[in-house]
Amino acid sequence: GAGVSQSPSNKVTEKGKDVELRCDPISGHTALYWYRQSLGQGLEFLIYFQGNSAPDKSGLPSDRFSAERTGGSVSTLTIQRTQQEDSAVYLCASSLGSGKDEQYFGPGTRLTVT
Amino acid sequence: QQPVQSPQAVILREGEDAVINCSSSKALYSVHWYRQKHGEAPVFLMILLKGGEQKGHEKISASFNEKKQQSSLYLTASQLSYSGTYFCGTEKWNSGGSNYKLTFGKGTLLTVNP
C-alpha cells in the first residue's frame, strides 16, 4: 500500500518568506509526528498529533512554527518568516496508534533558506 | 531528555558483530530502534517494552534493562546492508496519557565493509 508522502520534496526559499510543508499519512493511522533533521544530526521531535489534536506544541522550535491536521489525515507544518537556521530536512511519520506502534516515515522535505 | 548512544561510530568487516548501546538518565517505559541509510528515511527495527515485550520485523536482537535504564542492539554476522545510522528513541507520556513524545539519541553510524 501507499506509504507516507510529503510535499514538496525540496524547497528553497528566501529568508523571511513563509513556507508550508505537507504530509499525507498512511490511511487509517491516527497518530502523526513531525521531526526535524539538520545536516548530520539526529531526529528532533517537533509535534505529535492524535487525530486532529496536538496536545503539546512545546517541541516546536519557535512561535514561527505551527502545525495543523485536518480530518484526521493530512497535516501541514508552516514556518513563518523563515530563517537560515530553519534549513533542515523535515520528516513526517505516522503510526496506527502511538507508543507501542512503529512509526512509518515519509521521505522528508529538504528546506533550504537562503 | 535525550538518550545517550555509544559508540558514536563503528566500522566492521562483513560477518563481524557489533553492539550499540542506548542509555537514559530517566526511567524508561520503552525503547525504540530505527535505522537510517544515507539519504533515506528512518526505518523501524524494534520496540522493547517494559515487562519484556518486544516488537520487531527483522532478525535483530536487543535487550532492555529497565533497572539500568539501558538498551542494547546486537548486530551479529553483519551484512553490507546493515550499514547506516542507528537511532534509539525513548518515550515520554504526560500524566493524562494524552500527549506523547519520542526523543531520539544522536545516532550511531555503522559502516560494514566487504
Rounded-to-integer distance, Cα A19 and Cα B79, Å = 41
pLDDT, residue A97, reads 83
Distance from CA of A45 to the nearest CA of B (A): 6
pLDDT, residue B91, reads 85
pLDDT, residue B58, reads 67
Measured CA angle at B80 (ends B106, B82), to 5 deg: 35
Whether A55 and chain B come into contact, CB under 8 Å, resolves to yes
Residue with cell 531528555: B1
Distance of CA B34 to the CA centre of its chain: 6
Distance from CA of A81 to the nearest CA of B (A): 26
Chain B contact residues (CB < 8 Å to A): 2, 30, 32, 34, 40-44, 47, 49, 55, 87, 89, 91, 93-94, 98-107
Taking the alpha carbons of A77, A83, A85, A87 in that order, is the dihedral positive or negative?
Answer: positive
Taking the alpha carbons of A32, A37, A43, A45 in that order, is the dihedral positive or negative?
Answer: negative
Distance from CA of A18 to the nearest CA of B (A): 25
Q: Inter-chain contact A104–B93, Cβ cutoff 8 Å?
A: no
* CA neighbor of B20 nearest in space, from B79, B82, B92, B81: B82
Contact call for residues A90 and A109 (beta carbons, < 8 A): yes
Q: Inter-chain contact A55–B94, Cβ cutoff 8 Å?
A: yes
Rounded-to-integer distance, Cα B25 and Cα B94, Å = 18
**Beta strand pairing status for B108-113 and B9-13?**
parallel
Name the grid cell of B33.
530502534
Name the grid cell of B45.
527495527
Whether A91 and chain B come into contact, CB under 8 Å, resolves to yes
> Per residue in B26-75, pLDDT tens?
877 889 999 999 989 999 999 998 887 888 866 789 999 888 889 999 99
Q: Inter-chain contact B104–A55, Cβ cutoff 8 Å?
A: no
Residue A61 one-letter amino acid:
P
Contact call for residues A25 and A73 (beta carbons, < 8 A): yes
Residue B110 one-letter amino acid:
L
Tell me how far apart the terminal alpha carbons of chain A are, to the nearest angstrom.
Answer: 37
Residue B61 one-letter amino acid:
S
> Per residue in A67-104, pLDDT tens?
999 888 999 999 999 999 999 999 999 999 876 789 99
